[in-house]
Homo-oligomer: A and B are copies of this chain.
Amino acid sequence: MKFLTLKAKPLDMETGRHIVVLHEEDAEELGHFPGDRVKLTTQNGTVVAIANTTRRMVRRGEIGTFVEITGNLAIKPGDSVKVRLAPRPQSVTAIRRKMEGHRLSPEDIGAIVKDIADENLTATEMTAFVVAEYIRGMSIDEIVALTRHMVDTGDRLELDAKPVLDVHSIGGVPGNKYALVTVPIVAAAGLTVPKTSSRAITSGAGTADVMEVLANVTFDLDEIGRIVRKVGAILAWGGAVRLAPADDIIIQVERMLGVDPPCQLLASVMSKKLAVGADRVLIDIPAGPGAKVERIEEARSLAHDFIELGHKLNVQIEAAVTYGGQPVGYAVGPALEAREALEALLGRGPGSLVEKATSLAGIMLELGGAVSYGLGRQTAAELLRSGKAYQKMREMIEAQGGDPEVRPEEIEIGEKKEVIPSPSSGYVTQIYNQRVNDIARAAGAPWDKGAGLRILLKEGRKVEKGEPLLEIYAEHETKLDEAINLAKQNPPVKIEGMLLEKFTGSPRVNYL
């Protein structure tokens, strides 16, 4: 096997992975192409690294070592490094086979996931995997292997409780703060719910952003375990723990490309749930215009995939398709949503939030064995009405380091406010989810906690010209202006004439 002995030139830059730089002519002599791996041997040991080539950063006879390699091999400038080609890893061969349309074995998928988690793949290889997944799809057995390996290469929450409940909403709907109501209801019945959530990606607030208004959400795995053992539930930010880290890396590539392969979505959701030890999981699939899933048939198909996947992973799944064609409740933005969620826990609505939260909680109560099938929804409503859910939420807030005494009206919202009136008389026939999110973000959400908006009239409601339609809140005047401009350019509410018979007005929950 051909090798070269090169002089080390440490480069002062971190790359997050094992990367070296060779001069183009040395690379050529080695028979190396950009992105190939090389095996480096010094007196201190041997490691495999991805090698890139250059004509500028190093001279012939030199090898540039980034911080990770320099540290790993304790390299000093001018040290001799023996360099030879390393074989293509199993993971890369497997990615190519997926590109060709083959099914992958669990071992192949394990090799890919391990190399992703260890950051051993180049951007090119990672992307090839994501694009191949997107175009070729994956069988259920491949998704099972993907899920298991993503869990195995991350940290896991160990709880003694049994069952462990969890809930995940596919998202895409503004104002979807249901978890702040659903989780306390379920925990109030004595069930264990270690829920981790994400922050907003394209919406005005993620569950973690809303909960953060009321309490801390950034905990390590030990702290999460301690809180869940104490109060039975948590609403934590998933980004602070290393659950299925390969998934986080894959999602980053997906975002760069603006794609979301269904097989990866399935594996992603299930891996996060398995990693916290959940064995009974409710999947909420909001469906409707402007939601992530637009058509009901698509939602049903996804629901069935989740159930089948859960079956193979020994997780009992139920899936609910909920109405996602307009915001849940009226408020969008962290503080405004936190207020609305507390109002709901205090028994003061709004209807669409209460209906969604209690419907989902009801399914979870049944799934968790707290009540008989058929009694979930009414038990959930009772736990809410009686104040037990609110009491549980106070315990959760306290355990997470927040103020359990906080009243909704005490939660600070943006001081800058503008009311947008209806430009005409008629009926609200549509609310555009994406526009609602865009306005909330222009106003400063989710970074400015007090920013966001309240929709005053939802689908099916009659409105007179000049009547208030929307309130926008911001912390900064310039952002308020931006949001107002956006609301005027792209009105988030569609007002039409005599078209009431054409649509179903009230939000609804469909059980599968």
Which positions in A face B, CB cutoff 8 Å? 1-2, 13-14, 28-29, 31, 33-36, 56-57, 88, 92, 95-96, 99, 101, 122-128, 131-132, 134-136, 252-253, 255-259, 441-442, 447, 482
Contact = CB atoms under 8 A, between A and B. Distances in A.
Contacts of A252: 33-34
Contacts of A134: 99
Contact of A131 (B13, B28, B128, B442): B128
Nearest 6 CB-CB pairings of A with B? A35-B256, A127-B127, A123-B123, A131-B131, A124-B127, A33-B255
A256 B33 contact: yes
Contact of A96 (B33, B101, B132, B257): B257
Most buried by B among A96, A122, A125, A127: A127
Nearest to A255: B33
A56 B99 contact: no
A99 B14 contact: no
Nearest to A67: B56
A132 B257 CA distance: 12
A124 B35 contact: no
Contacts of A95: 257
A131 B253 CA distance: 14
A369 to B, nearest CB: 40
B99 A256 contact: no
B127 A123 contact: yes
A57 B92 CA distance: 29
B442 A2 contact: yes
A122 B29 CA distance: 28
Contact of A13 (B28, B57, B253, B442): B57
